[in-house]
């Protein structure tokens, strides 16, 4: 999209290369966020740290519009970690519905158990303790500490990485996997004040989700268009390694999803014959079912029966 003759914020003289890396970006991005941030349930005070954690698990590789109804049902059923921890893991898989990547449900259940046993049912605020929970990686620990507790951490999801790649590094897309250089840049861009840093983390993420998108970026609505290194360079085309696609039709992921759908909708164990009906190709079907069993998402039982996990 062609940039406007006069960008809505700042001037080209404010290029990030002429000042401290983050300084010219913080205020316009945070001001934009204050005006345009979506009203999402996990951003409301009543969500608490548990609501933030649940949303972070669900939002991994899944768009907001698909997450919203499942999140609302989940939080209504399990408003505290202890409630989820008291249920069988299979109930987490059942409630996960069709969000995809259902191992996230098992990991969230495992985190709830650990929170209940180690932290009295309260999501810890300490970053190291968050990182020690089952299923919590670098990104999720930083996101919960930042969004739930207002701490100063670099929160690097795909949207943030794309904003930083364009605005600061001058490239259309970030690398396929997060690099040490990206982490250093993210830390360098953090505001010194913890509360401002937490706001910056949320704001830069929202900017990538709504404006600086992977395709059809809306530079005319961007609060840092005038400082964007990629835009100022004429938007050079990406020339890095091929970007990963997300094919689904015909893959083992699709077969796994269909098998799990049968088990989620059943009120008891399911016979092999019921699972065989969901996919015509027996070798791929067997491979997908074996994978679900290996991942702990399905429990085989005597007599050729299968169920969602109870332990």
Please report the pLDDT score of residue 289 as a whole number: 95
Instruction: Give strand pairing partners of 270.
Output: 306
Length of the chain: 311
Q: Helix axis angle, 103-118 relative to 89-96, nearest 10°?
A: 130
Closest C-alpha to 221, from 43, 63, 65, 35: 35
Joined tokens for residue 170 = 């001058």
- pLDDT tens column, 142-192: 999 999 999 999 999 999 999 999 999 999 999 999 999 999 999 999 999
**What's the mean pLDDT when you consider all of the chain?**
91
- pTM, two decimals, is 0.86
Kind plus residue range of the DSSP H or E element containing 270:
strand 270-271
φ, ψ for residue 76, nearest 5 deg: -70, -35
Q: Which residue has the tokens 């049968």?
A: 262
Return the sign of the alpha-carbon dihedral for residues 300, 304, 308, 309: negative
The least confident of 4-8, 85-89, 259-263 is 4-8
Answer with the residue of higher pLDDT: 15 or 21: 21
How many Cβ atoms sit within 10 Å of the Cβ of residue 158?
A: 17
d(CA 81, CA 85): 6
User: Is pLDDT of 26 > 80?
Assistant: yes
Of 241 and 75, which is predicted with more confidence?
75
Instruction: Tell which residue, 206, 195, 199, has the closest CA to residue 163.
Output: 206
For 210-269, write each residue's pLDDT tens digit.
999 999 999 999 999 999 999 999 999 988 777 776 677 889 999 999 999 999 999 899
Catalytic residue IDs: 56
Task: Supply the pLDDT for residue 14.
Answer: 42
Task: Tell me: pLDDT of 197 over 80.
Answer: yes
Residue 96's pLDDT band (boundaries 50, 70, 90)? very high
Contact by Cβ (8 Å): 297, 102: yes
The pLDDT value recorded for residue 249 is 81
Beta carbons of 109 and 150 less than 8 angstroms apart: no
Look at 20 and 229; give whichever has higher pLDDT: 229
242, two tokens: 């091929």
Which pLDDT band, with edges at 50, 70 and 90, does 15 fall under?
A: very low
């Amino acid at each position: 999209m062609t940039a406007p003759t006069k960008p809505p914020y700042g001037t080209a003289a404010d290029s990030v290369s002429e000042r401290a890396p983050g300084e010219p970006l913080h205020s316009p991005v945070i001001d934009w966020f204050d005006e345009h941030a979506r009203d999402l349930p996990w951003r409301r005070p009543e969500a608490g740290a548990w609501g933030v954690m649940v949303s972070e698990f669900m939002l991994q590789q899944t768009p907001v519009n698909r997450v919203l109804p499942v999140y609302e049902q989940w939080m209504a059923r399990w408003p505290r970690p202890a409630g989820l921890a008291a249920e069988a893991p299979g109930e987490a898989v059942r409630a996960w519905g069709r969000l995809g990547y259902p191992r996230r449900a098992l990991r969230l259940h495992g985190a709830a158990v650990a929170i209940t046993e180690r932290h009295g049912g309260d999501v810890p605020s300490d970053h190291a303790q968050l990182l020690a929970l089952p299923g919590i990686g670098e990104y999720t620990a930083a996101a919960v500490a930042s969004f739930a507790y207002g701490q100063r951490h670099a929160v690097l999801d795909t949207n943030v990485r794309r904003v930083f790649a364009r605005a600061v590094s001058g490239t259309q897309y970030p690398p396929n996997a997060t690099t040490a250089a990206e982490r250093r840049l993210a830390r360098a861009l953090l505001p010194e004040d913890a509360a401002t840093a937490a706001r910056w983390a949320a704001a830069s993420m929202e900017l990538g989700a709504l404006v600086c998108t992977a395709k059809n970026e809306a530079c005319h609505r961007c609060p840092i268009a005038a400082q964007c290194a990629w835009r100022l360079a004429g938007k050079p085309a990406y020339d890095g390694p091929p970007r990963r696609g997300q094919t689904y039709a015909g893959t083992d992921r699709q077969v796994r999803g269909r098998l799990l759908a049968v088990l989620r909708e059943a009120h008891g164990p399911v016979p092999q014959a019921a699972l065989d009906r969901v996919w015509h190709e027996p070798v791929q079907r067997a491979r997908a079912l074996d994978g679900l069993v290996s991942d702990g998402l399905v429990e085989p039982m005597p007599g050729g029966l299968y169920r969602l996990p109870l332990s």
